[in-house]
């Protein structure tokens, strides 16, 4: 039994203590490795978010540019059709005035604007 006790105390116990220290050291290194991996993942996430933000901002700029162009074109068309509407109202009033007038010269000098005004609605 003395031999067993001496062997346990002098050989086996120190071997286990060394083994436990090695496993503990490896566990610490493993923990550090995973922390490094997680930090790298976080860095990559931030880089991807920055890239995505750049892409989204560029898309938003493009869409805003298209919107501005389309709205200008739409407003230009609206202005043109408002002018044409005024012309139509003037033509209606002029025709009414001619029909109500007793002056024959107005009727003889009358030129229809219908074809001109109708062709303007085709654009």
Which pLDDT score, from 0 to 100, does residue 119 have? 78
46-65 in b/e burial notation, b at 16+ Cβ within 10 A? eeeeeeeeeeeeeeeeeeee
Which pLDDT score, from 0 to 100, does residue 80 have? 93
Which pLDDT score, from 0 to 100, does residue 102 have? 79
CA distance 113 to 116: 5
User: Phi and psi dihedrals of 113, rounded to 5?
Assistant: -105, 0
Q: Are 95 and 117 in contact (CB under 8 A)?
A: no
**Cα dihedral angle (9, 10, 13, 15), rounded to 10 degrees?**
-170
For each of the chain's 123 residues, which pLDDT tens digit applies?
A: 989 898 999 999 999 999 999 999 999 999 999 999 999 999 999 999 999 999 999 999 999 999 999 999 999 999 999 999 998 999 899 888 888 887 877 776 777 777 777 777 765
Which pLDDT score, from 0 to 100, does residue 20 have? 97
101 secondary structure, DSSP code: -
Which pLDDT score, from 0 to 100, does residue 123 have? 58
- 95 CB-near residues (< 8 Å, 6+ apart): 110
Full-model pTM? 0.57
């Amino acid at each position: 039994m003395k031999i067993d006790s001496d062997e346990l105390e002098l050989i086996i116990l120190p071997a286990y203590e060394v083994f436990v220290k090695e496993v503990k050291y490896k566990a610490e290194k493993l923990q550090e490795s995973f922390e490094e991996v997680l930090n790298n993942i976080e860095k990559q996430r931030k880089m991807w978010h920055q890239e995505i933000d750049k892409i989204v901002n560029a898309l938003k700029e493009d869409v805003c540019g298209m919107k501005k162009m389309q709205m200008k074109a739409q407003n230009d068309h609206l202005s043109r059709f408002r002018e044409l509407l005024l012309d139509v109202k003037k033509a209606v009033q002029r025709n009414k005035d001619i029909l109500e007038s007793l002056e024959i010269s107005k009727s003889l000098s009358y030129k229809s604007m219908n074809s001109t005004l109708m062709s303007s609605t085709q654009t």
